[in-house]
Structure formats: C-alpha cells, structure tokens
Amino acid sequence: MTTFHDLPLEERLTLARLGTSHYSRQLSLVDNAEFGEHSLLEGWTRSHLIAHVAYNAIALCNLMHWANTGEETPMYVSPEARNEEIAYGSTLNPDALRNLHEHSVARLDVAWRETSEDAWSHEVLTAQGRTVPASETLWMRSREVWIHAVDLGAVATFGDIPEVILRTLAAEITQKWTSQGAGEGLVLLDEPSSTRYPAAPGQDEVVVSGSLAGIVRYAAGRGSDGVTSSTGEVPEPPRWL
C-alpha cells in the first residue's frame, strides 16, 4: 500500500502545493463577514483557524531554516506562545488575515524551493518532540491544509482529499491510537478496497466501515456520517492530535 512517505520528493511537494491551493480556494469562498463565525473545529472561529494555518506555515519555515543552516530554530518558542499567537491572530481583521495567509504560504514555498538536496534529510524537531527529516514538513503541511480546508466550512469535503493522503492519514491515526494505548479493538475498514486499519488489539473487535474518506473523517474526529459499526453504535473515536 503506497503512502505519502513512499512517494518521490517532487510528488510530495506537488501534493503539498495542491493542498495549499485547495485551502486557499476554500478561504476565498469565505466572506469577510463570516470570519467571526464558528469553524468546524469546536471552540474556534474561522479567524482562529485561518490564523493557526498561517502561523503553522511560518513555524515550518523555522524547521526549514534549521535544516538548511544548522541553526536550531524550533517551530514555536513554547506551547503557550503558540496558543497566544493563535489567540492574537484571531483578533486580526479579515483583510489582515488574508494577507497573513498569502505571506506565510509564499514564504514556506520559497523555503522549500531553496532547500538543497542534502538538507531535506537533515533532522529537525517537531512541536510534538519528534525528531524527523526536514522532508517531513511536506507531510505535516499536506495534512494541515487538506484537513483544515474542510474545517473552514465552505464547500470542501474529505472526498476532495487525494487517496494517497487519505490512506496515510488512516494509517497514521490508528498507529497514534495504538501508541497511546487507545482504541482497543477498534478497526477502520475501507469497504471499497477491503483494507483494514487496526488500532490497539482488544478482546472485542469493533469495525467501523465506510468509504476511505468516510473512515478518515470519522477517525480525525470530524463526525460519523457515512460510517457504520459492527456493533450497531459507532463509538466516539479516540483523540488523535
């Protein structure tokens, strides 16, 4: 099963850029008057979400600077600083947020474009404390923009997300559950392909079935519409991020 990480670097770059364009298109569909309304993420307005996605791009620029220069530049100074940054960004007016988005997108794309072949393999540290090659920023950003394009609540759905990204998300989410000891016995089943994505082994298996887009939407905590459970009642998915 091919995942995002199996693809050549150029293909991963393309998917990240396609996701950015997709997210930008969704953002263009949101009127300025709607920025203060709720996003599909509980507790966040669209302004919070837009600020978060923009600051995430800037944080990834820090990792690319680290990879290219060897100067240790973390994504965020601290978790508290990250939260304060998003809270501040949410107070910006819509035009300022659109400008922040455009600036951050351009800056990250330049950082990727100017990265040397060797620097892509240089190790950096994510905000979650994982040591990864700089090329992991392509996945981190792809995941961010494809999912949050849906969270903007314009017209995007999980069905818009490329299959290779959905497969990678399904595997990543269930692996994260397993590492946390969560979701015992829970299995995601992509019905069209009959592919199973098991979480931690458990005494009683619960299979949540649907399309690939449907089971990823469910696993990412975005609702259970379109999926069914072998026990009749679809369980609440464990927390992922």
Q: What is the pLDDT of residues 120-141, one digit of tens each?
A: 999 999 999 999 999 999 999 9
Gap between the Cα atoms of 93 and 205, Å rounded: 49
According to DSSP, the β-strands at 131-133 and 186-190 are unpaired
Q: How many CB atoms lie within 10 A of CB 88?
A: 11
5 annotated as belonging to a binding site for a ligand: no
233 annotated as belonging to a binding site for a ligand: no
Fold of 161-227: Nonspecific Lipid-transfer Protein; Chain A (3.30.1050)
Write down the pLDDT at residue 233.
94
Give me the residues paired with residue 186 across strands.
206
Helix or strand (DSSP H, E) at 132:
strand 131-133
Whether the pLDDT of residue 1 is over 90: the answer is no
Whether the pLDDT of residue 50 is over 90: the answer is yes
184 annotated as belonging to a binding site for a ligand: no
Instruction: Kindly report, residue by residue over 188-212, the tens digit of the pLDDT.
Output: 999 999 999 999 888 889 999 999 9
Gap between the Cα atoms of 100 and 56, Å rounded: 11
Fold of 2-155: Four Helix Bundle (Hemerythrin (Met), subunit A) (1.20.120)
pTM, 2 dp: 0.96
Taking the domains of the chain in order of start, what are their residue ranges?
A: 2-155, 161-227
Whether the pLDDT of residue 69 is over 90: the answer is yes
Q: Please, how many CA atoms are within 13 Å of residue 79, restricted to the half-sphere of its CB?
A: 3
